[in-house]
Amino acid sequence: MKNGENAIRFENVSKAFGKRKVLDGITFDLAAGGVYCVLGRSGTGKSVTLKLMIGLMKPDRGTIRILDREITGLDSRELAPVRAKVGFLFQYAALFDSITVGENIAFPLRRRGERSDEEIRRQVEEHLDAVGLEGNYDKMPAELSGGMRKRAGLARALALRPSILLVDEPSSGLDPITAKEIDEVLMGLREKHGATLVIVTHHITSARRMADEMLVLDNGRVVARGAPAELETSEVELVRELFRAEDVA
Amino acid sequence: MTNVIENAGRSVRTALAGAGDMVVFGLRALVSAVRPPFELVETLRQIQLLGWRSLSLIATSGLAVGVVMSMHTRSSLERFGAESMIPTVLGIAMIRETGPLVTGLLSSGRLGAGIGAELGGMRVTEQIDALESLAVDSFKYLVVTRVVACMVALPLLTIFFNVSAIVGGWAAETTVSGMTFGYYYRNAFSNIGFSDLIPSTLKTVVFGFLISSISGYLGYNASGGAQGVGQASTRSVVLSAISLIVANVVMVKFILFLFPS
Amino acid sequence: MGDFKKSLVAVFVFGGLILFAVGLFLIGDRKKLFSGSVDIYTEWKDLGGLQNGAIVRVSGMTGGEVRGIELPPGPEQKFRVRIRVVEDFLAILRSDSVAMIQTDGVVGNKLVEISAGTAKGAPLEEGSLIDSREPFEFADLISEASAVLANVRQVVDDSKGQLQEVLDSASTIAQKTDDFITQVTPDLQKAVSSGSKVAEDVQILTARVRAGQGTVGRLLNDDALYNNARNISADIRSSTSGVRDMIEEAKQREIVKDVKNVTAGANDVVQRANDLLREIQPNQGEGSSLVRDLRQTLFFANEAMSDFSESAEALKHNWLLRGFFRRRGFFDLDMISVEDYQAGARAPGYPVKRVWVPYHALFAQQDDEEALTEEGKRRLTQAMAELLPAAKTNAVIVEGYASGANRTEQFVRSQERAHLVREYITRAFLLRPNYVGIMQMGEVQPESGGAPWEGVALVLFQPQPLAPETVNANNPQSSSNGR
């Protein structure tokens, strides 16, 4: 995937829960290889946008294309090849808590059809190293701290070397120092893999640190989009509020 | 007044819709179970978790139920001087009805709550989404495997329950009358036909299906954090126990219709 | 999933399946799903709830099942029942075998019991029709028992009148009838003691019924039935107390001192008594002596009582009253297989006294059949001497042992032996027939090795605790004790 091609494309996508419209005909393109931060108030559909990208939710209207493949209307099995190229880091990591950390990361490898236990072990150790969790293969998820869990979740999301990585609130529930560490791991990965990153956050500082482009959502629409430097001078009320909030923090 | 009626109407509609969803969910699990790909390893793992791990519970309960039933049977048969009928009566009671039903109810507690809570927990901590994101058909991987495992495990557990109940009954009897085990089990089976043993054991396959599909449905569709998980678990036990008892009535009627004794 | 967990699954799944298969096997085995069998027919007016598939027992051993029931074509006709029995049983089934419908315990299903035939009957073949007995009813038994007891009373009353007259006359004629009375008293006492035991049984029975315990009480709420039973017991009591009065009377008159006259006039007394008897019973033929007449009377009384015993035997099979009889030491040997009997299922923990009598001392071959010899009777008397007097009040089981080519032959021969011995000791020692059971043990190898044991063993079961001991009379199994 070369830079400049579209990795993700939303066209006129709407999604409502009961009477509450979360997305209201939203349209945007995200070019491959970039780092995008999606910002907005709580409950403005940031996480929903992310889940639509991997088919965990279906839009009410509109079309979504991932890596030039239309995914609206695909069932679980048809989605599988697309999902194999997209990694997802969940807000609380969502590690399978009945198996060890190592087995969590080995899980996608095994599902892909990897047979050799040694090969799996080797790859898992490599991924654990990459996120700074070496030596935690046999720990259960419950034994890890929040930050370590998030790293393990990241290692699992990257196990199949996806070309798109979706990240839901990387810093939520973490102290600022740990949150910064996670951000650094993400940036390091970007440099190593060159994957497209879509990061949902309400943490403007980390967004500014990482993002090539920022998208601000409000009332189910994209109200502002641009590089962090451009948005600093934005006329949009919400964007100004967001940047002010950072100053206070 | 109109509000009350409207509310009542709405809750009936919700309940019916929920029941309909549940039926569709269960049937989908059955259809999916016979369609490849088969999650064989995970199914075996579930048989181990749901079946083998329930064995001690089932065997202990079986022993206890056997002992208690034997004591009750003795006290009533003694009045007719028909102590020699104790094994026969116990054998019939266990194999025809008590064994399957008690195993079913115990399992709806042990397995229903387990499945409801586990899947509910996975749902609210996004583990199910995580599975999907890893290109795994979570329904097949989580629900179908458990449904199949329960349908396999329940009849087996029933058999173990019956065996331990007969052993327990003998243990209670031999302390009183010194009856030998050989005499006991031969008499326990003396009035039982194939039509007693086979249908009543196989009907627990339906129990297994009910328990796993109901608790699977409630867990898989749980929402609302820890509270939602607790609710899914509780409702799994209640609903699967009730449906099991009702289904049992229907099946007993049906079995008696097919095999009039 | 590790290998260990996989093997747990395997243990769980295959363990369950194996246990299930064992269950199926137990059922299949009981249903006798093997080929060598024949169908015979019998007919009943009233099936009493008998159903297709019911178990069939031949002489107490499970050996087939009911394979079909045809409805009677008309109101005066009977149900025709097709019975499948294992071919091997044809060795003991004959045209005079009788089929009965019985109940297998409380919740038990109805089953068919076929008795072994006698040597006189013709062998059965496929499609043969055998006789049947209509299902037993409790009310029938009561009426039967009441008729029997009326007979007993009449016989006893008659003999009482006769005796009184005889005794009165004898005292006036001979004055000293010591000899006579000492001759008669033991027989009378026997009669009295059996009579009063029958009365006691019936009394306990009626008391239990009157107390209305459990289902029995509800079933017998019928006043007529209840009164009937009470009358029976009163009848017996009055008749036996009549006999007892008579004995008392006889004893008082026995206070006679002069023995010389007795010996001198003994012949005279007998002669006079003969004359007297002729006077009292003019229809009696010439030459009948007083003693013979008395013996005959007592024989009738005895017979009447054993009739009652048979009815009591039937009653014992009735599940309502089974417990009552069991507590009094009666056991339904039909219900116990030889293996269970050997394992002590009949009366676990009961002290047992066993006397062995070998075959060669007992029987001789007579017209293809075994019969008791005089030597055999002497040996049985010797053996009984060890068991008496406890054998009068406790259950005695005659175990028959016989070798043979196959199980059926062993079964039949050991049963015949036990039967002959039972018949003899019951008669000779005036044992109550329902206290004496038989158990056909078949072929049993002595523990010490060697040829299978042939003969019988008399076994005394005592309800009271007793230091267990084995009485050895030519015992080949010196180490066996209450097997």
B148 CB within 8 Å of a chain C CB: no
Whole-angstrom Cα distance, residue C307 to residue C318? 17
Nearest-CA residue of chain C relative to B79?
Answer: C214
Question: pLDDT band for position A249 (50/70/90)?
Answer: very low
Residue ranges per structural domain of chain B: 2-258
Compute CA C63 distance to the chain's CA centroid, rounded to the nearest angstrom.
Answer: 23
Q: What is the mean pLDDT of chain B?
A: 91
Sign of CA dihedral A16, A19, A21, A25: positive
State the pairing for strand pair A164-168/A86-89: parallel
Touching status, chains A and C (3+ beta-carbon pairs under 8 Å)? no
pLDDT 10s digits, C18-27: 999 988 888 8
Q: Which chains touch B (3 or more CB pairs under 8 A)?
A: A, C
Closest CA to B150 of B198, B124, B184, B118: B118
Global ipTM: 0.87
pLDDT value for C335: 55
Distance CA C458, CA C25 (A): 38
How many other β-carbons are positioned within 10 Å of the β-carbon of residue C453?
22
- Whether residue B78 and residue C323 make contact (CB cut-off 8 A), yes or no, is yes
**pLDDT, tens only, A195-210:** 889 999 888 888 888 8
Confidence of residue A20 (pLDDT cuts 50, 70, 90): confident
**Does B78 contact chain C (CB < 8 Å)?**
yes
Helix, coil or strand: residue C330: coil
Q: Which residues contact B140 (CB under 8 A, 6 or more apart)?
A: B32, B37, B39
B126:A108 CB<8 A: no
Structural domain boundaries of chain A? 100-161
Residue B86 is which amino acid?
I
The Cα of B193 is separated from the nearest Cα of chain C by a number of Å equal to: 6
> Tell me: the pLDDT tens digits for C207-240?
554 554 443 444 444 555 455 555 555 555 555 5
Question: Using CA atoms in the order C192, C194, C200, C203, what is the torsion angle rounded to 10 degrees?
Answer: -90
Whether residue B186 and residue C26 make contact (CB cut-off 8 A), yes or no, is yes
Q: Which residue in B58, B148, B156 has the most chain C C-beta atoms within 10 A of its own C-beta, making it the best mutation to test that interface?
A: B156
DSSP A141: G
Tokens of B80: 């007719």
**DSSP H helix total and E strand total for chain A:** 9, 10
Residue C138, SS3 per DSSP: helix
pLDDT of residue C246: 53
Spatial contact of A57 and A116, defined as CB atoms under 8 Å apart: no
pLDDT of B237 reads 95
Strands C55-58 and C61-70: antiparallel
Three-state DSSP class for residue C149: helix
Buried b (16+ CB within 10 A) or exposed e, C320-348: bbbbbbbeebbbbeebbbbebbebbbbbe
How far does CA A173 lie from the centroid of its chain?
16
Task: Determine the angle formed by the axes of helices A117-130 and A146-157, rounding to 10 degrees.
Answer: 130
Contact status, residue B32 vs residue B131, Cβ threshold 8 Å: no
Residue C306 has a pLDDT of: 55
Q: How far apart are CA B91 and CA C25, in angstroms?
A: 15
Q: Residues C343-378: pLDDT tens digits?
A: 664 555 566 778 888 888 788 877 777 788 888 888
Question: Quick check: C318 and B80 in contact, CB under 8 A?
Answer: no
3-state secondary structure of B247: helix
Name, in order, each residue with C-beta under 8 angstroms of C471's C-beta and a sequence gap of 6 or more: C353, C354, C355, C386
* Distance from C-alpha of A76 to C-alpha of A1, rounded to nearest angstrom: 24
| A55, A80, A90 member nearest B130 (Cβ) | A90
The residues, ordered by sequence, that sit 6+ positions from C299 with a Cβ below 8 Å of its Cβ are none
pLDDT tens, position by position, B91-110: 989 999 999 999 999 999 99
Task: Assess whether pLDDT exceeds 60 at residue C410.
Answer: yes
Q: Which of A76, A96, A156 sits opposite B137 (nearest CB)?
A: A76
Does residue C36 surpass a pLDDT of 50?
A: yes
Determine the length of chain B: 261
More confident of the two residues C35 and C91: C91
**Segment A28-37, tens digit of pLDDT:** 989 888 899 9
What's residue C300's pLDDT? Answer: 57
Q: How many CB pairs under 8 A join A and B?
A: 57
Nearest Cα to Cα of residue C104 among A185, B132, B82, B196 = B82
Q: Give pLDDT, residue B117.
A: 94
Q: What digits encode the pLDDT tens for the residues B40-75? A: 889 999 999 999 999 999 999 999 999 999 998 888
Q: What is the pLDDT of residue C234?
A: 59
Question: Is residue C481's pLDDT more than 60?
Answer: no
| Per-residue pLDDT tens over the stretch C104-159 | 655 566 888 898 888 888 888 888 888 888 775 555 656 666 776 677 677 667 66
- The number of angstroms, rounded, from the C-alpha of B76 to the middle of its chain's C-alpha atoms is 30
pLDDT of residue B9: 86
Question: pLDDT category, B203, cuts 50, 70, 90?
Answer: very high
Using a CB-CB cut-off of 8 Å, the residues of chain B touching A54 are 132-133
Query: For B126, which of A84, A87, A94 is closest by C-beta distance?
Result: A94
Most confident range, picked from A50-64, B175-189, C251-265: A50-64
Rounded to the nearest 10°, the torsion over CA C73, C75, C76, C82 is 40
Which pLDDT does position A247 carry in this prediction? 52
Q: What pLDDT is attached to residue C287?
A: 41
- Judged against a pLDDT cut of 60, whether residue C286 lies above it is answered with no
Q: Does C320 touch chain B (CB under 8 A)?
A: yes
Residues in chain C: 483
Phi, psi of C152 (to 5 degrees): -55, -45
Do chain B and C touch: 3 or more Cβ pairs under 8 angstroms?
yes
What average pLDDT does range B137-149 have in this prediction?
94
